[in-house]
Amino acid sequence: MPERGSELTISLVTMGQGDAVYERFGHNAIWVHDTLRHRDLQYNYGLFDFRQENFILRFVQGRMLYAMGGLDAAASMADYAAHNRSIWVQELNLTPAQRADLRDFLAWNALPENRNYRYDYYLDNCSTRVRDALDRVLGGRIRSSMDSVAAGTTFRFHTARLTTNDPLMFTGLMLGLGEPVDRPISRYEEMFLPLAFREHIRSIRVPGPDGHEIPLVRSEQTVYLSTTPDSPAAPPFWLPWYLLIGVLLGGLCWYCGQRIVSSGGARLGLAVAGGVWSFLAGVAGLVLAGLWLLTDHTAAYRNENLFQFSPLALPLALLVPLAAYGRDRALRAGRSVALVIVLLGIAGLFFKLVPGTRQVNGMLIALALPANLGLWLGLRDAVRRRVSPAGSGSPTA
């Protein structure tokens, strides 16, 4: 009588990147081929539904529910290929007993009462669930092989390089992610990325039938190869561009503040540039503070960008336009608030010297600090022009 599980073939299926932001990190699944029942199921831990009850609220709170389920393997792979996403299949060297154990576990996990789980972008996602399901039947072999091996990367490193196709999304993620994503990670943790999982699993070895170790991956095949270019191997160095934007914005505010008395264009420029920047920076600060204090988005905790993007900037969104059009009290109040924001930004810069700090946010400092400094200089000089005799432009003490 055939050994239980000998009728099964287990494969790791890896899908490449898609166009949507939630597809940029790739995907994977476990393919169970059953010759006895003539069944091919692809167990996928990345199922979610925008129509799910309280989806938006759960997303904001960092409590989003994902689900797993068994899908028809051929139909699933055809769908990914139709969306121009690469597909690779790695057949695994598992014993018949391990194959049967994995099949039974996946079937149990797919039951309605077991299928949902609390999603975490880095620590508990569709790829780590696949990793852990395989590691369970392998007796922890994946973890023991990979957990002590440094990947030489961080969660931010991969997030940055995989989102360079969308500069606005890239900037938003770099702004919102806090210090936790900048710690060095192991290869085991790097398996949160399906393509890293596909790469690292090749080096794992397991006991063979004769007791000698053999590769976990028995064979590999490419089912479909996308025509989309691969993402860069490392994040881009965009700091000079962020610095240029910050200097131009700050320089515009300073220039307009110096000419606020004599030029209607300068008043408009200060009102628009200073007001819009302050609004965006203030809203960003509120969001960063809210993510840290009010949600379960642990990747956004301890965010040093709050030094540069402070909720204190929100009042300036009103004070700067009022100041630009002749409200002296608004001008003086705006100058004081702007100075506090600049001092916070400088404190954030010096905070980088504190031992143990590791957040990678140089690009955001390069953007915000010159912009905030220029706005304060513009408001400071506008006050001096207003109090000088006949608006002559001669500064007073």
Whether 163 maps to a domain, the answer reads no
pTM summary value: 0.93
Q: What is the mean pLDDT of residues 351-370?
A: 95
Count how many residues are written for the chain.
397
Whether 79 maps to a domain, the answer reads yes
Q: What is the mean pLDDT of residues 337-348?
A: 98
Of 164, 131, 288, 172, give the one whose Cα is nearest residue 232: 164
Whether 264 maps to a domain, the answer reads yes
Whether 42 maps to a domain, the answer reads yes
Structure confidence at residue 175 (pLDDT):
98
pLDDT class of 397 with cuts at 50, 70, 90: very low
Judge whether residue 326 has pLDDT over 70. yes
Of 344, 335, 269, give the one whose Cα is nearest residue 311: 344
Residue 301 backbone phi and psi in degrees, to 5: -75, 160
Structure confidence at residue 395 (pLDDT):
40
Whether 191 maps to a domain, the answer reads yes
Q: Crossing angle for the helix pair 362-387 and 264-294, nearest 10 degrees?
A: 140
The CATH code of the domain that includes 106 is 3.90.1720
Whether 307 maps to a domain, the answer reads yes
Report how far residue 285's alpha carbon sits from residue 267's, in angstroms, rounded to the nearest whole number: 26
Burial 329-343 (b: 16+ CB within 10 A, else e): ebbbbbbebbbebbe
Whether 3 maps to a domain, the answer reads no
Per the prediction, the chain carries an average pLDDT of 94
pLDDT class of 393 with cuts at 50, 70, 90: very low
Judge whether residue 134 has pLDDT over 70. yes
User: Looking up tokens 């001096």, which residue turns up?
Assistant: 384
Specify whether 220 is located in the same domain as 103: yes
Q: Render pLDDT for 187-207 as a digit per residue (tens, 0 to 9).
A: 999 999 999 999 999 999 999
Specify whether 192 is located in the same domain as 276: no
pLDDT class of 50 with cuts at 50, 70, 90: confident
235 half-sphere exposure, CB direction, 13 A CA radius: 20
Judge whether residue 112 has pLDDT over 50. yes
Specify whether 60 is located in the same domain as 194: yes
Specify whether 211 is located in the same domain as 260: no
Specify whether 217 is located in the same domain as 249: no
Q: What is the mean pLDDT of residues 62-79?
A: 96
Structure confidence at residue 262 (pLDDT):
81
Judge whether residue 67 has pLDDT over 70. yes
Given a contact cutoff of 8 angstroms between Cβ atoms, the answer to whether 15 and 86 are in contact is yes
Structure confidence at residue 396 (pLDDT):
35
Residue 286 backbone phi and psi in degrees, to 5: -65, -40
Given a contact cutoff of 8 angstroms between Cβ atoms, the answer to whether 291 and 303 are in contact is yes
Tell me which residue range forms the domain holding 195: 8-151+186-224
Structure confidence at residue 286 (pLDDT):
98
Which domain-ending residue is among 196, 224, 252?
224
Considering its fold, how many domains does the chain have in total? 2
Lowest mean pLDDT among 75-89, 309-323, 376-390: 376-390
Report how far residue 216's alpha carbon sits from residue 160's, in angstroms, rounded to the nearest whole number: 31
Q: What is the mean pLDDT of residues 69-84?
A: 97
Given a contact cutoff of 8 angstroms between Cβ atoms, the answer to whether 316 and 338 are in contact is yes
Specify whether 214 is located in the same domain as 77: yes
Structure confidence at residue 388 (pLDDT):
59
Q: Render pLDDT for 215-244 as a digit per residue (tens, 0 to 9).
A: 999 999 999 999 999 999 999 999 999 999
